[in-house]
Every structure is written in C-alpha cells, then in structure tokens.
Amino acid sequence: MADATSEPVSSPTMAAAAAEVTVLPIILAVSFCHMINDIMQSMISSIYPMLKTDYALDFWQIGILTLAFQCTASLLQPVIGIVTDKKPFPYSLPVGMGSTFIGLFMLASAHSYAVLVVAASLIGIGSAVFHPESSRVARLASGGRYGFAQSVFQVGGNFGQSIGPLLAAFIIVPNGQGSVAWFSIGAMLGIIILTGVARWYKAHMIANKGRKRVLNVHNLSRRTVAIALAVLALLTFSKNAYMASIGSYYTFFVIERFGVTVQQSQIMLFIFLGAVALGTVIGGPIGDRFGSKVVIWFSILGVLPFTLAMPFANLPVTIALSAIIGFIMASSFPAIVVMAQELVPGRVGMIAGIFFGIAFGIGGIAAAVLGIFADHYGITFVYTVCAFLPALGLLTIFLPGKKALRVA
C-alpha cells in the first residue's frame, strides 16, 4: 500500500483529487478488516451452545454475554465518533484491533463465567473503536459514492458474520474452547492492515489540511431532521432486535424444533448470514441510484410477510425463509447510516458512532430480554413475537426523499 506522504500535494487540483477519487484499495482494506472484526463477534454467539453446556449456563446468562459485548461497543461508539469528528486519531484503528486480540486470548483461556464476560467486553471495545473510524475512512475514500462505499464496507462485516459460525462449527466445536486462540492470528493480520490504512488516513488529512470542505447542505428544518433521525433510530431498533433473535438464538430454535445437530445449526446460520452479505452488496448501488428511502421501504417493511411465516414453517421452508429475510433486510443499515449522515452533514464520525452504537446496544439488550422470554415461554414464542417487528417499517413514510436531501 503506497504511502501518500512520500510526495507532497503541490496544487489545489491534486488536493481535490485526493478527496474526490474513489480509493477502492482503502475501501476494500477496511471492508476486509470489518470481516475480521465481525468473524470474532459472530464467533462468540456461535459457540454459545458449547459454552452453555461446558459452564451449565441458563439462557439469561447467554443473553448477558451478548449484552457485555454489544453494550460495551454501544456505549463507547458515539463518544469515539464525537471525539474523532473534532480530532481524528488514525492510529486508533490498529489499537482497537489490539483490544480484540487480547479479548480472544482471554476467551480461549477462560475458566469462569466472569472471565468470559470480561473477554466479550474487550472484543466489544475493539468493535467500538473500529466502526466509527473505519466508516469515516470508507466515506473519505468513496469519491462521493457514499452508498457504494458504505455497502462494500458493511458487506465485509456481513461476510465475517456469515463465516464465523462455520469456522466455529468446524474448528472450535470439535477442538474445544482453547482453539479460539487460533483466531488471534486474524486479529494480528487486521492490526497490520489497519496500520497501513492509518498511514493513508493520516496522509489524506495532511493533503487536505486547510482545504475548505464542501458539504451537501439540505434545506430541511431542525424539526424535520429530528423526526427523521428518531424514525431511523426506531427502524434500527426493529432491524437489530430481530437480527438479535437470529444471531443469538436461531441455532437453539432449529435444534429444539427440528432436532438438527449443533454443526447443522451452524450451517443454517451461515445460510442466513450469507444471504445478509449478498443483500448488502446489492443494496448500496440501489441506494446511490434511487435514494436511501427506497431501500429502507423495501428492506424493513418488505420482509414482514416472511418473518410472520417463519415460526410456522417446516425445516426446508425455514431455511429458505431465513435466506430471503437475510437478503431483504440486509441493505437497510447502510442506507440508514448514509441517510443519517446526509441529515447531519459534517458529523460523519458522530453519526456512525451513534447508529452503530444503537445497533450494538439494541442487539445486546434485545438478546438479554429475549433470553429471559425464551427461558419462560420457549424459543418458538420468541420468534413469533419478533416476527411483527418489521411492521415498524411503516414509519419510513416520515423520512425525507432523495431530492429533499440533495438540495444544496
């Protein structure tokens, strides 16, 4: 990866080019590291059945593990985003991955439930640092193709979430908890790549120092912006609460209802998460062309008939429905982030931190609450209730359209 500091920027034209050209290698680099980051976090939920047996855990304790990871990330992400909007810290990216590296070693060597919680929290801290700054880097390198850059960045995470369960099924489940340490190799690779990204990020800052930023300023009132942000937050809630039901408990659901093995349940989770990755790739370019609102309509409300059907389907239909749900729902989050950043121009890190934080926090809280319901009423009841969450997609009617956001 070339270091842009090797040659000084000698003209405003070159500076503008540094800001306006799509730098695909950087976008791909942060997407790849997003994959590594999300392999680690999906791996935690993938080994829940093993941990539940080894440590004799209840469902509420499984929910607390998810809460420890996701709420650690959710509380720190907005703070990191606000701080780095004022003063960016390019080398915070490899430092955050270092926290994940330490958390993995603790997870591999833990002999008590308390250590598991601490390890999950450290991996959460790594995610908290990674998401706002890497989302900013993707936007800086987008050349104005914000939906495309956000989707490429996001699909790395989706792909990581999809292969994490497979790696857990074929590496950790057969070889035991200690084999988690092998995943630290991926974290080390992420540290190396993010160090290179940080050099580009710093060089980009130097090249554009003193250059007046051109912001796409809309003419929407503060009240309209506040309502739109509140709606986006509620849509994030509906999506991530449902995704938490899949991520944390889908394996238990198919094991209990259909009697599949743990490895078979991980493969079914992989099918769902793989469909999520595919949907994310397609959603970004559609959002750039037709606007984020169109994508949000389709991805949140459009999934409702399928979520309502899944709790009552047989095994083959459940697998098919999970893939359809993952594909349709996937594109909503990049579209939500892009729209929120357009609503509050110039606050890329803060918006990314808040919405990634909301996503993690809601996922963690929902996982804990759903775990309590699962203990008392059963897994099938949880999926029946969660099936109605996408109905909140009707709130999309209150969001501004593409033309209203692009008027400068």
DSSP 175-187: H-GGGGGGGHHHH
- Between CA 361 and CA 367 the distance in angstroms is 10
Q: Is 144 left (phi over 0), alpha (psi -120 to 50) or beta?
A: left
Contact 372, 64 (CB under 8 A): no
Give the pair of three-digit tokens for residue 38: 């999300």
pLDDT at res. 28? 93
Q: Does the pLDDT of residue 300 top 60, yes or no?
A: yes
Contact 337, 292 (CB under 8 A): no
Q: What percent of the chain has pLDDT over 70?
A: 90
Note the residue count of the chain.
Answer: 408
pLDDT at res. 13? 38
DSSP-derived 3-state class of residue 357:
helix
Q: Of 190, 191, 169, 189, which is closest to residue 179 (Cα–Cα)?
A: 169
Segment of 42-51, 186-195, 259-268, 269-278 carrying the highest mean pLDDT: 186-195
pLDDT at res. 315? 94
Alpha-carbon distances, residue 404 vs 61, 96, 342, 346 (angstroms): 46, 37, 10, 17
| Cβ-based neighbour number of residue 359 at 10 Å | 24
- Between CA 402 and CA 408 the distance in angstroms is 12
Residue scoring higher pLDDT (316 or 342):
316
- Stated pTM of the model: 0.66
Q: Of 174, 220, 186, 242, which is closest to residue 393 (Cα–Cα)?
A: 242
Q: Could you read off the pLDDT of 126-137 as tens digits, one per residue?
A: 988 898 889 889
Over residues 35-39, the mean pLDDT reads: 89
Identity of the residue numbered 209: K
pLDDT at res. 364? 65
**223 Cβ contact partners less than 8 Å away, ≥ 6 residues apart:** none
Residue scoring higher pLDDT (273 or 211):
273
Tell how far CA 340 is from the center of its chain. 16
Q: Does the pLDDT of residue 6 top 50, yes or no?
A: no
- Between CA 28 and CA 330 the distance in angstroms is 19
Q: Is 29 exposed, middle or buried (0-12, 13-18, 19+ CB in 10 A)?
A: buried
Give the pair of three-digit tokens for residue 211: 């250059």
Over residues 334-338, the mean pLDDT reads: 81
Q: Helix, strand, coil: what percent of the chain each, to 5?
A: 85, 0, 15
Q: Could you read off the pLDDT of 157-198 as tens digits, one per residue?
A: 877 877 877 788 788 878 888 888 888 899 999 999 999 999
Superfamily covering domain 23-207+216-406? MFS general substrate transporter like domains (1.20.1250.20)
Domain segments of the chain as ranges: 23-207+216-406
- Between CA 137 and CA 109 the distance in angstroms is 34
Q: Of 117, 184, 78, which is closest to residue 364 (Cα–Cα)?
A: 117
- Between CA 338 and CA 286 the distance in angstroms is 12
Helices (H) and strands (E) in the chain, counts: 18, 0
Over residues 91-106, the mean pLDDT reads: 92
Q: Of 193, 205, 204, which is closest to residue 156 (Cα–Cα)?
A: 193
Contact 364, 238 (CB under 8 A): no
**39 Cβ contact partners less than 8 Å away, ≥ 6 residues apart:** 160, 161, 163, 164, 167, 183, 186
How much is the mean pLDDT over the chain? Answer: 81
